[in-house]
Amino acid sequence: MRHALILAGGSGTRLWPYSTASLPKQLVPLLPGGRSLLDVAVERATSCVPAERVWLGAGEQLRDAVAKVEGLQADRLVVEPSARDTLPAVALGCAVIAAHDPDAVVAVLTADHLIEPLDSFAQTLDDAFTLAEQREDALVTFGVVPDAPATGFGYLELGAPLGAGHVVGRFVEKPTLSRAAEYLAAGPSRYLWNSGMFVWRADTLLRAVDEFSPHAGLVLRAMGQAYGTKRWEPLAKDAWPTVAKLSVDYGVMEPASTSEDFTVVALPLAARWLDVGSWPAYGEALGRDTAGNAVGAARAVLHASRDCVVASSDPTHLVTLVGCEGLVVVHTPEATLVMPADDAQRVKELHALVQEQAPELA
């Protein structure tokens, strides 16, 4: 049967000070109507897969918060003992699902993206499920058609056509601007952005982990079988910390793309895809006015200002700008951030300093 596993981990440091260790970006009510990215992700998944087969992977520190998300069934939460990157998170989730359904085909989805329209996404997801059901060796990923020479995303280099997609010949790390421009010029039949979403048979993914990270495969299979039983605690305490911190791209997808035992396939995502991973991206999610300003604040007055992003979590606080251009201004009751939008990727550096000097606000 078809299942969905939403990954709700990640610290979201580039959206500080909204996003903090205790309330990371996927749980913050960033969107209109007080909705969070995770709310939208669960709604998206349950529109494609029955609610009883939608699972959520999250860290122990977020157990209580994510359990309250509307549409998620309480017994479909897979809690990681601690953060160890995406390979352990994905493989543990697939192992737990496989323990319930040995024939499971699993879509691994993100909790911090906006994807629309839903109908287009659902069609691409259905194509991916069908491909994984037909091919036991298939590890399917979604590629996003680039619309700019972005340097903040990884890229998929495409090879021969296969079904509705292409075989992935190579995973490319975040490129320089000049190289990203070359990829854009080559077109979407050659390069796509790596979306970080996947579809595969649970047993195929676990077999790949066994091959490329044997120790992790052994531990995570055992933990999947033990989840929810008295055998879980000793494994969580003693075995989980021995699993290497690896991303699923680096630990599985990249070696699988050159292996004779697996076929990595990319399907182009026929939908608008926005990775809400920075304040400018948040501005795009909100939409901009005729002056290019994006406002996510209950009270704000902008005068003679252009191309700014303004956000405030305090409904009574008034944020004002005069004669500003290309700024990000973010207010919370505890902290204020002001920076040029072009320096948005440096919030991660700033967050490291906040951790040192004001850890209670990080």
pLDDT at 72: 87
Indicate whether 106 and 135 sit together in one domain.
Answer: yes
Rounded to whole angstroms, the Cα distance separating 341 from 125 reads 34
In the chain, which residue ranges form alpha helices assigned H by DSSP? Answer: 37-46, 63-66, 86-100, 118-134, 177-186, 202-212, 214-226, 232-234, 248, 254-256, 279-286, 347-357
223: left (phi over 0), alpha (psi -120 to 50) or beta: alpha
Indicate whether 190 and 312 sit together in one domain.
Answer: no
Domain span including residue 357: 279-361
pLDDT at 341: 96
Final residue before a domain boundary, out of 216, 249, 275: 275
Q: At 204, which CATH number?
A: 3.90.550.10
**Tens-binned pLDDT, residue by residue, of the chain (362 aa):** 999 999 997 777 899 999 998 888 888 888 888 889 999 999 999 999 999 999 999 988 888 888 888 888 889 999 999 999 999 999 999 999 999 999 999 999 999 889 989 999 999 999 999 999 999 999 999 999 998 898 888 999 999 999 889 999 999 988 999 999 999 999 999 999 999 999 999 999 999 999 999 999 999 999 999 999 999 999 999 999 999 999 999 999 999 999 999 999 999 987 888 888 899 999 998 999 999 999 999 999 999 999 999 999 999 999 999 999 999 999 999 999 999 999 998 999 999 999 999 999 99
Indicate whether 304 and 191 sit together in one domain.
Answer: no
Indicate whether 308 and 233 sit together in one domain.
Answer: no
For the chain, what is the domain count? 2
Indicate whether 318 and 300 sit together in one domain.
Answer: yes
Final residue before a domain boundary, out of 275, 305, 332: 275
Indicate whether 209 and 249 sit together in one domain.
Answer: yes
Rounded to whole angstroms, the Cα distance separating 324 from 127 reads 46
Q: What is the pTM of this model?
A: 0.91
Indicate whether 228 and 339 sit together in one domain.
Answer: no
Indicate whether 173 and 321 sit together in one domain.
Answer: no
Indicate whether 129 and 52 sit together in one domain.
Answer: yes
Final residue before a domain boundary, out of 275, 295, 311: 275
